[in-house]
Amino acid sequence: MMRFERIIEKPIHLPFAMEMPEFPCVKLDISNQSSNLIGDFIKQRDDESWLLMSYYAAQGQQQLWTAWLLAKRAFSNNKALARSLDAEFLRYIAGTHHVSDAFKKVGIKHHDDTAWLVFLPKHIVDLDEIIPSFSIDQFNIGVQALVQTLDLKIIAGKPEIDLKGLEKMGISLPESKLNLTDSIIGHIISADLNS
């Protein structure tokens, strides 16, 4: 007699509006930068908590916080595929299993005029929840230091869903635009599924 195991699925409900602060990032004008912006940036940043990514890669608050949470969990559980937190975060943003593909997909390109300067906050654990812990003042000080040192310019802009950006990232557009956030989150989660 054959024995079948039953899988019981427990639905996970993500709130439409996350109870998180605004993700610490600023949009930059990089149109006047040398071809070695990334190298100069890596030399000047304090640590791997700071990163640069392409202008189209930031697709909203839920996307950024979800990628941050999964990257933090991966390091906490010794399951990270990247050697550094910034690379692991980019891997999740790109929705890929391979770190090198993440840099190609969401890293800054030579022809980009704008980019995102992103700060990955430290965290505390409270009742098994990973919660961001950072000071907005310290974030602003860090941003100003990098912007001045690298001769960059902050420009207006907040991370928001952009259909052209989704296409560049390879995120399939759902039939209903109401499901865009679900598609973006699914893309992030697929980083652990696609090899």
Tens digits of per-residue pLDDT, 63-78? 999 999 999 999 999 9
Per the prediction, the chain carries an average pLDDT of 88
Q: Which residues of 16-167 form beta strands (DSSP E)?
A: 25-29, 50-54, 114-119, 122-126, 129-133, 153-155
The Cα–Cα gap between 165 and 120 comes to 22
Predicted structure pTM score = 0.86
Task: Name the 3-class secondary structure at 126.
Answer: strand
Give tens-digit pLDDT for 154-172: 999 999 999 999 999 988 8
CATH fold of 25-192, please? PF0523-like (3.30.2380)
* SS3 (DSSP) at 129: strand
Provide mean pLDDT across the span 39-50.
95
